[in-house]
Amino acid sequence: TDDALVIFTPSGKRGRFALGTPVLTAARQLGVDLDSVCGGRGICSKCQVQPGIGEFPKHGVTVAANALSGWNAVEERYKSIRGLAEGRRLGCQARVMGDVVIDVPPESQVHKQVIRKSASERVMVMDPATRAVYVAVAEPDMHEPTGDFERLAQALADQWQADDVTANLGILRRLQPALRKGEWNVTVALHKGHNDTHPRILDIWPGYHEGPILGLAIDLGSTTIAAHLCDLRDGRVLASSGVMNPQIRFGEDLMSRVSYAMMNPGGDVEMTRAVRDSLNTLIGAIATEAAVDPAAIYEVVFVCNPVMHHLLLGIDPVELGQAPFALATSGSLSLDARDLDLTAINRAARVYVLPCIAGHVGADAAAVALAEEPNTSKDMVLIVDVGTNAEILLGNESRVLACSSPTGPAFEGAQISSGQRAAPGAIERVEIDPVTKEPRFRVIGSDLWSDDPGFAEATARSGITGICGSGIIEAVAEMRMAGLVDAKGLIGSAEQTGTLRNMPEGRTHSYLLHDGTAQGGPVIMVTQGDIRAIQLAKSALYAGARLLMDEMGIDNVDRVVLAGAFGAHISPKHAMVLGMIPDAPLSAVTSAGNAAGTGARIALCNVAARARIEAVVHRIHKVETAIEPRFQEHFVNANAIPHATDPFPQLAA
């Protein structure tokens, strides 16, 4: 016969092809995911495949050693210059000569699956909006008066099915030298957003360019700004970094920033400038950390709450400060990075901002929904993203509700007497002996407990500097369990509690967690004010969750997911002792880490996910805590530790 059976693994796709068909062509015709940047010219090696030889009883074929053509000059050249791993072939050069089973290794797939770093270890599929393609352009001709750009556009349409590409003036300026230097072969960074009708050229290089195509996923929080730098070719996170939001000096929480804008003419402009400046600084720092050129960053995805959303965009947030809390726009946005003054990255870079759910429930909540997918859950899941504002989602595959709750920055270590951001030296774990009332703790940067031998040496570099959000949550919960604090949240005296660590301070008492004076370190106390701040924060969180449960008509949830920048660090047991979250079996309380950041990364690496989350957000029903009288009622009852009226049977068990 003059055709042969070709079976691709792992997809199992199969078909018969004329002898002599290149493997890449067969893959394309069968819809097998096999990458190619150079368009089959034997330059990029993205098309590498691994042919099998011998018996394949599962597929019912026997593959002869010469089932693929021998090495041609192009493949030989690639191998001698760049090298090819044992058994690998270039799919664009090797041709089908007999029945064959061909494996496509993960790195040769465009839609690679990347394991997300999360407790649930879900996979994320690569499908970036920006990718590099290599293209051969027709040379100009005296009789053909078209411009160089038009011939490039034609070549992209013919070779990459990229019809009607556009390019900005910056690209047009560099086009002619690049084409001539590359002898009419160029690599372009091609971007097509999910709503774009035309792909656009973001960058151009002479010849074959192998440099990285990078993107940033940014979680723009009220207190901290966190960024992940990702390689859009394979989804790897090259560096992650965070800074404090400089807007803190205009107000610690969102509403105080809105009032700053209301009271001070030009205040919104000032805050916009502050956040954009620090974004540029952060981008510079993260690029330095990863040792990459920030000009290789072509895309940025933002998730943020509505107030940060408006301030980032340069929109006065004043309407968000008063009912009915109207957003200027709730839809997603695709913009030029230049419009946001992001000067540190590529000049042609694009920005995608996830949609907001409502005036108080922002793109950060949308990102959490994208990462945790409550809309596909069979059981009733409560997701709380703990930050300065808590984003709360409740639902399952039939209905999802959302609200946000003003927890304030206490959970992030702010407004706490010895509070600090999660950083080396911060106390993050606390245990208090119920009998002796003596504490032991762990600090970020060391695995040892404070009473382990070697602790002092292990923490010598960072010192013990303060207590972070997860540390204060554990400290308060442990104090409650050890009887140092009553259900109302009052710290007892030394006589009442039987420990000299409870010391008078004015008319209240404080608990001495750590006295570092001998080592030149600080004294870390948990004060009555700290307990109050945590009570306010946790009541707001709990009340928000209860409000959603009321709306859903349920008294219990099947599972609870703790998310947030430090969500991964909160101990479920302590969260429940405190009454931060409703009662649920402890084994059904899990941490998702920074789900908003993960959602941003998914939207960055997979353009189809953007369309998906936009559709999901459309169907999420939002509940407004600010105008709901029952919120206040729930809030007051949730002030007690764990709660004044709601039972916690799982806690007793």
Q: Does 38 bind ligand FES (CB under 6 A)?
A: yes
Q: Which is nearer to ligand FES, 90 or 282 (CB)?
A: 90
Q: Which is nearer to ligand FES, 37 or 427 (CB)?
A: 37
Q: Which is nearer to ligand FES, 79 or 347 (CB)?
A: 79
SS3 432: strand
Q: How far is the CB of 213 from ligand FES (least distance, A)?
A: 16
Q: Which is nearer to ligand FES, 78 or 441 (CB)?
A: 78
Residue 232, class by beta-carbon neighbours within 10 Å (0-12 exposed, 13-18 middle, 19+ buried)? buried
Q: Does 47 bind ligand FES (CB under 6 A)?
A: yes
Q: Total binding residues for ligand FES by CB under 6 A?
A: 15
Q: Does 199 bind ligand FES (CB under 6 A)?
A: no
Query: Residue 447: left if φ>0, alpha if ψ -120 to 50, beta else—which one?
Result: alpha
Residue 230, beta-bridge partner list: 215, 237
Token pair listed for 243: 């800074």
Token pair listed for 187: 């690599």
Q: Does 46 bind ligand FES (CB under 6 A)?
A: yes
Q: How far is the CB of 160 from ligand FES (least distance, A)?
A: 12
Q: How far is the CB of 34 from ligand FES (least distance, A)?
A: 8
Cis peptide before 10 (omega within 30 of 0): yes
How distant, in Å, are the alpha carbons of 215, 344, 551, 614 from that of 618?
Answer: 26, 34, 18, 6
Nearest to 189 by CA among 106, 295, 288, 285: 295
Q: How far is the CB of 46 from ligand FES (least distance, A)?
A: 5
Interface characters, 2-31, with ligand FES (x: CB under 6 A)? ----------------------x-------
Cis peptide before 57 (omega within 30 of 0): no
Q: How far is the CB of 88 from ligand FES (least distance, A)?
A: 11
Under 8 Å between Cβ of 392 and 544: yes
Q: Which of 4, 17, 27, 36 binds ligand FES (CB under 6 A)?
A: 36
Residue 450, class by beta-carbon neighbours within 10 Å (0-12 exposed, 13-18 middle, 19+ buried)? buried
Q: Which of 42, 98, 182, 374 binds ligand FES (CB under 6 A)?
A: 42
Q: How far apart are CA 394 and CA 559, in angstroms?
A: 10
Q: Which is nearer to ligand FES, 136 or 423 (CB)?
A: 136
Q: Does 44 bind ligand FES (CB under 6 A)?
A: yes
Q: Describe the chain by its helix, strand, coil percentages, rounded to 5.
A: 35, 25, 40
Q: Does 43 bind ligand FES (CB under 6 A)?
A: yes
Q: Does 32 bind ligand FES (CB under 6 A)?
A: no
Token pair listed for 149: 């750009």
Q: How far apart are CA 447 and CA 443, in angstroms?
A: 8
Q: How far is the CB of 180 from ligand FES (least distance, A)?
A: 23
Q: How far is the CB of 47 from ligand FES (least distance, A)?
A: 3
Q: How far is the CB of 343 from ligand FES (least distance, A)?
A: 34
Q: How far is the CB of 93 from ligand FES (least distance, A)?
A: 7
Stretch that binds ligand FES, among 39-47, 218-226, 487-495, 511-519 (CB under 6 A): 39-47
Strands 48-51, 100-103: parallel, antiparallel or unpaired by DSSP? antiparallel
Q: Which is nearer to ligand FES, 45 or 539 (CB)?
A: 45
SS3 245: coil
Q: How far apart are CA 486 and CA 642, in angstroms?
A: 10
Q: How far apart are CA 12 and CA 58, in angstroms?
A: 11
Q: Which of 5, 40, 299, 528 binds ligand FES (CB under 6 A)?
A: 40
Stretch that binds ligand FES, among 32-40, 415-423, 529-537, 596-604 (CB under 6 A): 32-40
Residue 169, class by beta-carbon neighbours within 10 Å (0-12 exposed, 13-18 middle, 19+ buried)? exposed
Instruction: Tell me the DSSP string of 52-81.
Output: --EEETTTTEEE-TTSB----HHHHHHHHH
Q: Which is nearer to ligand FES, 34 or 638 (CB)?
A: 34
Q: Which is nearer to ligand FES, 42 or 267 (CB)?
A: 42
Under 8 Å between Cβ of 68 and 107: no
Query: Residue 483: left if φ>0, alpha if ψ -120 to 50, beta else—which one?
Result: left
Instruction: Give 549-575 as a 3 state SS string.
Output: HHHHCCCCCCEEEEECCCHHHCCHHHH
How distant, in Å, are the alpha carbons of 52, 61, 63, 606 from that of 55?
Answer: 9, 6, 6, 38
Q: How far is the CB of 548 from ligand FES (least distance, A)?
A: 51
Q: Which is nearer to ligand FES, 37 or 303 (CB)?
A: 37
Q: Does 365 bind ligand FES (CB under 6 A)?
A: no
Stretch that binds ligand FES, among 11-19, 34-42, 166-174, 334-342 (CB under 6 A): 34-42
Stretch that binds ligand FES, among 36-44, 352-360, 384-392, 573-581 (CB under 6 A): 36-44
Q: Does 171 bind ligand FES (CB under 6 A)?
A: no
Q: Which is nearer to ligand FES, 85 or 518 (CB)?
A: 85
Q: How far is the CB of 113 from ligand FES (least distance, A)?
A: 21
SS3 345: coil
Q: Which is nearer to ligand FES, 42 or 419 (CB)?
A: 42
Q: Which of residues 73-92 bind ligand FES (CB under 6 A)?
A: 90-92
Q: Which is nearer to ligand FES, 24 or 303 (CB)?
A: 24
Stretch that binds ligand FES, among 40-48, 135-143, 249-257, 387-395 (CB under 6 A): 40-48
Under 8 Å between Cβ of 351 and 336: yes
Q: Which is nearer to ligand FES, 37 or 351 (CB)?
A: 37
Q: Does 597 bind ligand FES (CB under 6 A)?
A: no
Q: Does 109 bind ligand FES (CB under 6 A)?
A: no
What DSSP character marks residue 12?
Answer: -
Query: What does the binding site for ligand FES look like in residue numbers (CB under 6 A)?
Result: 24, 36-38, 40-47, 90-92
